[in-house]
Structure 1
């Protein structure tokens, strides 16, 4: 019988139910094994006094003998509570009372310092190869494995399958060699370098250690790690022999991929069609098997231009599980060969020529190569250049200036951009007031939270940054093969940000004859050409122009071209851009919007891009946005005010075309640099337009008496007759093009009969259209 006041126990089948300590907290006994039946504490309930019972007639074990003498030293009475001292009985599997004064701690078993680790050979069943697990590590090995391998080595008594050490052998050998070098008597390592080495092998307290302590730690680890490596290397050798045999046949097994592709190997991606997915080289960082997708994953890094620096970028590839063996050449990535490397180096040199901003042709479309603009459009980073930071000593590339004047040999206005801030729509800042990019923006090395935001040393040494915002950094020749095959930019035709293959980029072929095709007074043409030329960024004369009283205000050229349709307004902007070899950004009412809030953002973005690209901007049908304000149209007033505010601070070249100059708001008139009226074409103007378009089609206009008049000519008298018809320039262009298409459909040269057919059809249409309007 258990004395009164002492606990009773029963066995519970629930393995999660454990006896509590005093105070209600639970603990597990030293020899507790989950799943076994464990006792559960159940205090004995006291029998309550009945109402008609007297104190003399009530008897219970606890009243008769509340505490037996043998248990007096196992309790500690307090006011309103009592502490009972209990200990776990290993044989009875219950808690029993005990006197803490007589408690003796278990003897401490000394650790076996001669055994550095245990190899547990676990047999599942007869005939099956046992699985080898390594456990019970010595302290030097445990510290080292926590630092170099991580994972479950932070758990109590960690263990690891032997095969999982095989991929780590080469890295462990490097660590062992570093420790051995530090132990050499002639070692030139300084104390701080030894401290860093000790930290790398898991001794986080190394900074507080003396040099003798560090050398002792190195010595212990070298001795212990040598034994571990010797054992693992011996067990790995049969696998390596099998790998070497398979490689000799040009084959590979899926389970051997992790040993075939090792850390720091240089690989290149493969594909059946290199035109769709060009090869890309990368250096292996890590690899693993993904059991959820049955694939072998490999992660690496290569380099790319971020807009102001060459930075490292991550790349990942996968190999889907395959059975048996597979040709190595059929894998999605292979080791880089010298032949392929030479090809990639040549491509990398071409890639470096597209740093900055460039005006190029891509599949006959005119594009702007602008990585920073693409970054901002994609939401990947700030437009601002990074703060000056230590790194490789860069040399100016092509006398370049990535945020100022371009090198002379660049084709066209390839003006590198300067900083851009984070305002709505983005604003390019003045070069002399560059923004500073916050940490982690594009152009800086990838950040590592474990090192307080600093990038790792192996990445830092390959990040090429400019020491100032005035130099284009160079990249080492050995790194050229790691550059990508694509650049990022903007298609001026489709108005989309795209990715472009550098091997498909070509110089722009400018049509300088377009200026001669423009039917306009020569004095006006000279005026427009001179004004646009003097505003060019590379032109030092632009600095001689007077500035506004308010810094940064004005300074641009706003030119209004007004007149009837088809008189050459749009052609003027196109021709001057061709003549001066500058990009032309055409913004129409479809791209812009009549919503004041969105219009300001979109137009601001377009003007900022044009400033960075040294482009000419043409806003067609500008009267939609600049129509006269009134007291009753608040939305219209906001729209006009937003446009006026942007034009006030624009510093580039802007052409505005309109058919309704009288509808313009009066406040806009003072912001116009020059306004040019385009009158209706007279007879001489129409004759000139007909002649020029015939010349574009490959036909000359000659006198009837000219002895050289042949089949590829039109007679002057016939062209004079065509010029007598009141067609505008755009209509004449369409007529010649339609007549040429008609001739081509009959496989015959263009003749006057073809022209008469389309002219008659056009006149009939105009007559019918005039009748419908009436």
Structure 2
């Protein structure tokens, strides 16, 4: 059964089948040149087969009965086990073969397994084999117990990866078909030839003096048991075929495989842990020509995965999550450390688990050291434990090959932590031209640009996680003078306070407050973290703690924070409203120590608590748009459509003239209303499908007029409902004064 990079068993239903005829010799040695993924289950019992007759355990094991005529029958034990069909546990053992007294240890014990529904409690140690119901017995999977210390040491010296077998107990259990001896036949044969001299040169106390003889006995046994079937199967492999019962031969533990775990055609790199018989589902072919390309893709992907995890910086993401597939497009911040603080799960590290391997050095003589231990293999995946891509600067190509495909990341658009597919990440693209399209007084625009220049320079430095940790440590040990020289100057005498930049944007809805924050984020090349009440909460006990968590994230990432419609947190405190007082006080405390750029927007500035006014560095008022500004907005939307849909849509001159007409300008639309109206007009034009000679959909004045009529009717309804327009109502309630600035509206051109 193939496993993932953590050594965990893979879905047995997901499989891929391919045999490369040109590499049968490599496969013979257990190193398939073409990675494949298959699994096979235990052969099911034939219910119609005659029950196997048990061997009398009182008889000494003979060469004919066990190893087909090999020498030294006294070196082989024989035993029968009876296993409960339902429980799977051994409830009765036949007596082992008695051996003649000899200084030479036994080589192995051959164990036949019989299955019975006999209840474990109804059988005693004195029960005779004949007492077990013969009609209720079937054959189980036999196995051998390696008893020779020399053979056990040989396995520990030549097997570099075989996690399903523990090579360190005194007795090593190896089930049929004895695949470890098949896969490592060449290595064991070379080992046996190398240690033949030890038998003649070592003294009687060296346990390895029996190595050559005992290895030969085991190899002969395995050969007579399975070699005929193995040779026949390898001949089939050379012709591009494989049989069901022998599929395990394709999968040497430690081989690289590509597995479609989800059974959707997306193959992922894995390492074979073990192989057993199982049904095959969704089998696919990977041709020999595709393998180098696929492998290099996974190596490159692993390099990218490590790069994303090592640096705290923002990327653009366009792709899917790796668990429940959801599509995201927009800025994302890979940050595994913070992900673990906010979530319990995460991406999988490379973690190939296996029992300890390597020789025990059962003999310390010089002969064994030179002949055996200097040639012992290094565990194949030594150093592959918990590789998460954070600490190491460079991995091997094979380690990159096995790296995970998901990156723990924060998605700014949804303000959620997600496991994102590494292939979806790309370099971010910030459009500073957005700031130039912002409808705002030139002097105000220039003021904001100058104010944020310093933060733009800071954001251009991306640090590795190690650099951030070193910076944090060195700041602690620096003198106060040097520490202050490295940070933004603050007029506050209390260190750590007032180092951020808090900007309040206030005005009626739809005049560009939120868009200003978005433009500044693009201009400074920083991500925008837009928070709402659902992110901060409304419980006074949680607000300060939640804000501090978001502030720390923003400082770590160099993000700009926008709290849209911040009225709920900044309203005037009342003596009788203790809950509101706590809410406002918590917000004020958190605000004091934030060190980044914070935008607050509101259309109800008149309700603010006066304590906030002294904590806001810059206040920018957005007056109502004049006709000139509205013309600029319409022109901007027209330009965007012509750029995006140049070959498929065209705005007629009648539509361009209509947006400057008195009929439309009398509505005094804000920016959001203009955007919504134009978007609806485009949808209507596409639905009607009127086209010019070039086949472009025409956007006419009628499409815009349709939205104008609905907007006028709705406004009339609201005026009658509130007995006046919204601006007058806001002024009467003390929320804002929209008439402010109209007196000087023409003094500065936009």
The alignment's TM-score, normalised by the length of structure 1, stands at 0.58
1:279 matched to 2:267: yes
**CA separation in 1, counterparts of 2:348 and 2:520?**
36
Matches within 5 A, 1:687-726: 687-698=631-642, 711=653, 714-715=656-657, 718-719=660-661, 722-726=664-668
- What does residue 343 of structure 2 align with? 378
Q: Is the 8 A contact 1:268 1:282 kept in 2?
A: yes
User: Is the strand fraction higher in 1 or 2?
Assistant: 1
Matches within 5 A, 1:13-28: none
Shift in CA distance, 457/628, structure 1 to aligned 2, threshold 3 Å? farther
1:737 matched to 2:679: yes
1:595-630 Cα deviation digits (max 9, x unpaired) = 233434443333333233322221111111222223
How far residue 769 of structure 1 moved from its aligned partner, in angstroms, is 1.3
**CA separation in 2, counterparts of 1:627 and 1:116?**
86
Q: Is the 8 A contact 1:618 1:656 kept in 2?
A: yes
Structure number with higher relative contact order (C-alpha < 8 Å, ≥ 6 residues apart)? 2
Q: Is the 8 A contact 2:564 2:601 kept in 1?
A: yes
Structure 2: state its 5+ residue gaps.
1-79, 83-98, 115-133, 320-327, 358-377, 462-483, 644-650, 691-697, 724-750
- What does residue 251 of structure 2 align with? 261
Shift in CA distance, 690/672, structure 1 to aligned 2, threshold 3 Å? same
Shift in CA distance, 138/604, structure 1 to aligned 2, threshold 3 Å? same
Shift in CA distance, 585/277, structure 1 to aligned 2, threshold 3 Å? farther
How far residue 569 of structure 1 moved from its aligned partner, in angstroms, is 0.6
1:361 matched to 2:317: yes
- What does residue 728 of structure 1 align with? 670
**CA separation in 1, counterparts of 2:635 and 2:394?**
52
Structure 1: state its 5+ residue gaps.
1-32, 36-107, 186-211, 290-295, 297-319, 382-440, 700-708
- What does residue 583 of structure 2 align with? 639
User: Is the helix fraction higher in 1 or 2?
Assistant: 2
3-state SS, counterpart of residue 419 of structure 2: strand
The alignment's TM-score, normalised by the length of structure 2, stands at 0.60
1:770 matched to 2:719: yes
- What does residue 709 of structure 2 align with? 760
Shift in CA distance, 655/249, structure 1 to aligned 2, threshold 3 Å? same
**CA separation in 2, counterparts of 1:158 and 1:450?**
14
How far residue 359 of structure 1 moved from its aligned partner, in angstroms, is 1.8
How far residue 378 of structure 1 moved from its aligned partner, in angstroms, is 2.8
Q: Is the 8 A contact 1:560 1:676 kept in 2?
A: yes
Pick the aligned partner of 2:383 from 461, 473, 488.
Answer: 461
- What does residue 341 of structure 1 align with? 295
1:494-528 Cα deviation digits (max 9, x unpaired) = 33333333444444454443223322111211222
**CA separation in 1, counterparts of 2:706 and 2:288?**
64
Matches within 5 A, 1:393-542: 458-462=380-384, 473-536=393-456, 537-538=458-459
**CA separation in 2, counterparts of 1:698 and 1:131?**
74
**CA separation in 2, counterparts of 1:137 and 1:263?**
24
Bigger Cα displacement from structure 2, 620-629 vs 347-356: 347-356
**CA separation in 2, counterparts of 1:626 and 1:641?**
9
1:402-440 Cα deviation digits (max 9, x unpaired) = xxxxxxxxxxxxxxxxxxxxxxxxxxxxxxxxxxxxxxx
Q: Is the 8 A contact 2:257 2:269 kept in 1?
A: yes
1:546 matched to 2:477: no
**CA separation in 2, counterparts of 1:376 and 1:335?**
44
Larger gyration radius, structure 1 or structure 2: 1
Number of residue pairs aligned between Structure 1 and Structure 2: 533
- What does residue 101 of structure 2 align with? 110
Bigger Cα displacement from structure 2, 535-544 vs 474-483: 535-544
Q: Is the 8 A contact 2:350 2:388 kept in 1?
A: no
3-state SS, counterpart of residue 498 of structure 1: strand
- What does residue 317 of structure 1 align with? none
How far residue 687 of structure 1 moved from its aligned partner, in angstroms, is 3.7
3-state SS, counterpart of residue 218 of structure 2: helix
Matches within 5 A, 1:642-661: 642-661=586-605
Shift in CA distance, 254/442, structure 1 to aligned 2, threshold 3 Å? closer
3-state SS, counterpart of residue 252 of structure 1: coil
**CA separation in 2, counterparts of 1:366 and 1:665?**
36
Shift in CA distance, 131/733, structure 1 to aligned 2, threshold 3 Å? closer
Q: Is the 8 A contact 1:690 1:723 kept in 2?
A: no
How far residue 109 of structure 1 moved from its aligned partner, in angstroms, is 7.5
- What does residue 509 of structure 2 align with? 565
Shift in CA distance, 711/631, structure 1 to aligned 2, threshold 3 Å? closer
3-state SS, counterpart of residue 571 of structure 1: helix
1:332-363 Cα deviation digits (max 9, x unpaired) = x9999334323433444554553433321315
3-state SS, counterpart of residue 718 of structure 1: coil
How far residue 712 of structure 1 moved from its aligned partner, in angstroms, is 7.2
Shift in CA distance, 121/634, structure 1 to aligned 2, threshold 3 Å? closer
Q: Is the 8 A contact 2:258 2:268 kept in 1?
A: yes
- What does residue 147 of structure 2 align with? 137
Shift in CA distance, 557/132, structure 1 to aligned 2, threshold 3 Å? closer
3-state SS, counterpart of residue 274 of structure 2: strand
How far residue 164 of structure 1 moved from its aligned partner, in angstroms, is 4.6
How far residue 366 of structure 1 moved from its aligned partner, in angstroms, is 0.3
Shift in CA distance, 516/722, structure 1 to aligned 2, threshold 3 Å? farther
**CA separation in 2, counterparts of 1:366 and 1:175?**
56
- What does residue 178 of structure 2 align with? 165
Shift in CA distance, 328/515, structure 1 to aligned 2, threshold 3 Å? closer
**CA separation in 1, counterparts of 2:206 and 2:641?**
90
How far residue 571 of structure 1 moved from its aligned partner, in angstroms, is 1.1
**CA separation in 1, counterparts of 2:415 and 2:446?**
31
Matches within 5 A, 1:54-453: 110-111=101-102, 113=104, 115-117=106-108, 134=144, 137-138=147-148, 140-141=150-151, 163-171=176-184, 174=187, 216-270=206-260, 278-284=266-272, 286-289=273-276, 296=277, 320-321=278-279, 329=284, 337-355=291-309, 356=311, 357-362=313-318, 365-372=329-336, 373-380=338-345
Pick the aligned partner of 1:595 from 539, 542, 549.
Answer: 539
**CA separation in 1, counterparts of 2:674 and 2:488?**
40
1:249-295 Cα deviation digits (max 9, x unpaired) = 4333333232220122111124898xx553222233x2154xxxxxx
**CA separation in 2, counterparts of 1:614 and 1:590?**
22
Q: Is the 8 A contact 1:179 1:218 kept in 2?
A: no
Shift in CA distance, 462/221, structure 1 to aligned 2, threshold 3 Å? same
**CA separation in 2, counterparts of 1:772 and 1:578?**
41
Q: Is the 8 A contact 1:140 1:217 kept in 2?
A: yes
Matches within 5 A, 1:4-43: none
How far residue 448 of structure 1 moved from its aligned partner, in angstroms, is 8.9
3-state SS, counterpart of residue 242 of structure 2: strand
**CA separation in 2, counterparts of 1:34 and 1:736?**
82
1:625 matched to 2:569: yes
**CA separation in 2, counterparts of 1:336 and 1:628?**
68
Q: Is the 8 A contact 1:140 1:220 kept in 2?
A: yes
- What does residue 80 of structure 1 align with? none
**CA separation in 1, counterparts of 2:532 and 2:300?**
41
